[in-house]
């Protein structure tokens, strides 16, 4: 099996280990979430701290108040922590952010 090489990628003044990590930054930007990037590969926002490659993360938006939340585990995660309304992972805002992250084009060369 060929080794998959991470391509160092520059975005928003940060140098990411891979394009995937840079795409997460695009995703967060699109949602207006505060993020930061550290060499350990963690995003630390005002409210969010998540391993960049954790596929178990589920992003949800409250259909009532627009609160964005990240869930890591099973449970009652389709309910907003803020107002108890329904939270969905398929709101137009979240889907737009996913689309934006997927279609992001980064600079060529060393910057990926």
Determine the interface stretch with Zn ion among 7-15, 20-28, 37-45, 59-67 (rule: CB under 5 A).
59-67
| Sole binder of Zn ion in the list 62, 68, 98, 101 (CB under 5 A) | 62
Residues 6+ apart with CB under 8 A from 47: 34
Estimate to the nearest angstrom the gap between the alpha carbon of 1 and the chain centroid.
Answer: 28
Binding mask 66-95 for Zn ion (x = CB under 5 A): -x------------x-xx-x----------
Reported as half-sphere exposure (CB side, CA atoms, 13 A), residue 110 has a value of 1
Backbone Cα Rg of the chain: 15
> For binding to Zn ion (CB under 5 A), which residues are involved?
62, 64-65, 67, 80, 82-83, 85
């Amino acid at each position: 099996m060929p080794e998959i090489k991470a391509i160092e990628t520059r975005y928003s003044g940060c140098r990411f280990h891979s394009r995937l990590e840079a795409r997460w930054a695009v995703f967060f930007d699109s949602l207006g979430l505060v993020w930061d990037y550290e060499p350990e590969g963690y995003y630390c926002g005002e409210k969010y701290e998540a391993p960049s490659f954790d596929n178990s993360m589920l992003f949800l938006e409250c259909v009532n108040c627009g609160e964005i939340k990240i869930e890591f585990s099973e449970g009652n995660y389709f309910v907003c922590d803020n107002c108890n309304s329904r939270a969905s992972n398929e709101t137009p805002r979240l889907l737009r952010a996913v689309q934006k992250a997927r279609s992001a084009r980064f600079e060529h060369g060393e910057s990926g």
